[in-house]
Copies of this chain bind each other. A is one copy, B any other.
Amino acid sequence: MTEVFEILSVKEKVMDSLERNDNNSLTQIIDSLSSKEIVHLIGHMNRVDQIKIFTLLSPEDAAEVMEDIPEAQAVEIIEDMEFVDVAAILNEMESDEQADLIMELDDEDAAAILNEMDPEEAADVKKLLSYEFDTAGGLMRTEYFVYRENLTVQQVIADLKKNAEEYADYTLKNIYITTSKGKIKGVLHMQDLLIADEETRISELISKELMMVNHNAELSELIFFFDNHELFGVPVVNDDNILVGVILRRDVLEAESDKLTQEHLESQGIVGGDELRTMPIFTRAKRRLSWLSVNILLNILAASVIAYHQDVLSSVIAMAVFLPIISDMSGCSGNQAVAVSMRELSLGVVNPSEILRVWWQEVSVGLINGLVLGLLMGLAAFLWKGNMYLGLVVGGALATNTIIAVSIGGTIPLILKGFDVDPALASGPILTTITDMIGFFLALTFAAMAMSHLGGI
């Protein structure tokens, strides 16, 4: 409770500064907060106060706060701010973060903000925006050390000293060497300049193997690149080997985390991007409904199997107790198999053409688990009504459907991936609809077959 209490007292202080338009005290409070506290604070303010914070702070400080809060929230706030204020803040951010935010805005807003920005910064952003999301070009930064090959060590050191302040913000300390046309030639580390003679041309110092990635390289290729090379960053080149940016390992790792998060949210039915509870209620409701309404149709489809066999149910009403269990348990078993396939796909240990092997490996587990679950469920049914046939019908249906569920669950992500459909989004609904339909069909068909022994239960 202390933590909340402190945050609340901080919020009061912030509101007080906002009321008095006191930039100094606001800056002081914000500087004293960790990024976690800032996220929490901004999340608990209304839009008017949020905007006031961003306009009252200096653009540098505002940019830092903007980088701390979740992207989905930053975009919401930006959409309600004046273009000129947004542009001033964006000018202070790193190129890849500028592009990430502007990409989420609608085209008109984006154009208006780019128009107000520093022309050089705006040009960098436009360059990044021209690339596909989650490619090297889309993830790269445009801040890095680059010198022409004909310079001497002395000239480079002089430049490093002269622009020390600007360069302090450059995250990657590698120095890239290019031809006068901008083609990449090599890379130096700061310590290479240490050992060298001042008059040496930097082109003579190039010795290390030069790694680079194409601007169109995809996220999965970048992940594997950094898995294989012990580097903090790598230069990005276009098809003519012209240096266009650098991509850092951290940016790739962060993009990977974002992708994992997005896949998880999609698998749980949060679609159309991240949801925060500070978003407008109707936006949240609409996005969730888009998923739920597909599911309700699929559910009605599955339940139509029960409706079709209603005569069996009316003779053996006890079966109605078991239908939701069979549906839910098959979903659980199938989802485990989906999760393992999604994991194996992302690790790269399986690919879409190996459906048969995966299917066989799931069937073997499904046989064991189906048997155990079927026995458990059959026993419960038998004990409840004292009717062995009810146990056989229910247990047999669950056992069979477990095997079917893991078969579908294990293979459907590979099939979807093979057809280039997002498996995180579609695997779950397809799985549960098919297993529900088959499960209901099996249970009610088995019951019909054993009808003479089940009468009146």
A35–B278 CA distance with the chains assembled, in angstroms: 42
Interface CB pairs A-B, < 8 A, 28: A36-B348, A43-B350, A161-B195, A191-B193, A194-B194, A253-B254, A253-B257, A261-B343, A265-B339, A270-B336, A276-B347, A281-B364, A288-B336, A288-B365, A288-B369, A292-B333, A293-B372, A293-B373, A295-B329, A300-B325, A300-B377, A300-B380, A302-B325, A306-B321, A310-B317, A310-B320, A320-B323, A327-B328
> Of the candidates B34, B224, B320, B350, which one forms a contact with A34 in the assembled complex, judged by CB atoms under 8 Å apart?
B224
Q: Is the CB of A344 within 8 A of B277?
A: yes
Q: Is the CB of B336 within 8 A of A324?
A: no
Which of A224, A267, A296 has most B Cβ within 10 Å?
A296
Q: Is the CB of A35 within 8 A of B329?
A: no
> Hey, what's the 0/1 contact readout for A205-234 against B, CB within 8 Å counting as 1?
000000000000000000010011010100
| Residues of chain A from 303 to 355 with CB closer than 8 A to chain B in the complex | 303, 306-307, 310, 313-314, 317-325, 327-329, 331-333, 335-336, 338-340, 343-344, 347-351, 353-354
Q: Is the CB of A34 within 8 A of B228?
A: yes
Q: Is the CB of A228 within 8 A of B35?
A: yes
A274 CB-CB contact with B under 8 Å: yes
What residue in chain B is nearest A254 (Cβ atoms)?
Answer: B253
> Of the candidates B35, B261, B291, B333, which one forms a contact with A224 in the assembled complex, judged by CB atoms under 8 Å apart?
B35
Q: Is the CB of A333 within 8 A of B384?
A: no
A400 CB-CB contact with B under 8 Å: no
Residues of B within 8 A of A253 (CB): 250, 253-254, 257
* Number of copies of this protein chain within its complex: 2
A264 CB-CB contact with B under 8 Å: yes
A48 CB-CB contact with B under 8 Å: no
Where chain A touches its partner, the secondary structure class is helix
Q: Is the CB of A325 within 8 A of B343?
A: no
> Of the candidates B274, B324, B372, which one forms a contact with A306 in the assembled complex, judged by CB atoms under 8 Å apart?
B324
> Of the candidates B160, B250, B329, which one forms a contact with A296 in the assembled complex, judged by CB atoms under 8 Å apart?
B329
A423 CB-CB contact with B under 8 Å: no
> Of the candidates B39, B267, B340, which one forms a contact with A275 in the assembled complex, judged by CB atoms under 8 Å apart?
B340
> Hey, what's the 0/1 contact readout for A175-209 against B, CB within 8 Å counting as 1?
00000000000000111011100000000000000
Residues of B within 8 A of A291 (CB): 332, 336
Which of A228, A322, A347 has most B Cβ within 10 Å?
A347
> Of the candidates B282, B328, B348, which one forms a contact with A40 in the assembled complex, judged by CB atoms under 8 Å apart?
B348
| Residues of chain A from 118 to 165 with CB closer than 8 A to chain B in the complex | 157, 160-161
A139 to chain B, nearest CB (A): 14
A434–B70 CA distance with the chains assembled, in angstroms: 32
What residue in chain B is nearest A326 (Cβ atoms)?
Answer: B324
Q: Is the CB of B3 within 8 A of A350?
A: no
Residues of B within 8 A of A332 (CB): 269, 291-292, 295
What residue in chain B is nearest A409 (Cβ atoms)?
Answer: B268
Which of A195, A277, A368, A436 has most B Cβ within 10 Å?
A277
A417 to chain B, nearest CB (A): 13
Interface size on A, residues (CB 8 A): 113
What residue in chain B is nearest A357 (Cβ atoms)?
Answer: B277
Instruction: Identify the 8 closest CB pairs spanning chains A and B, nearest first.
Output: A268-B339, A320-B320, A253-B253, A285-B368, A190-B191, A43-B349, A190-B190, A277-B361
User: Contacts A227-B35, A260-B257 known; A365 to B281 CB distance under 8 Å?
Assistant: yes
A173 CB-CB contact with B under 8 Å: yes
A451 CB-CB contact with B under 8 Å: no
> Of the candidates B264, B282, B323, which one forms a contact with A324 in the assembled complex, judged by CB atoms under 8 Å apart?
B323
Residues of B within 8 A of A322 (CB): 303
Q: Is the CB of A347 within 8 A of B39?
A: yes
Residues of B within 8 A of A365 (CB): 281, 284-285, 288
A47 CB-CB contact with B under 8 Å: no
A423 to chain B, nearest CB (A): 13
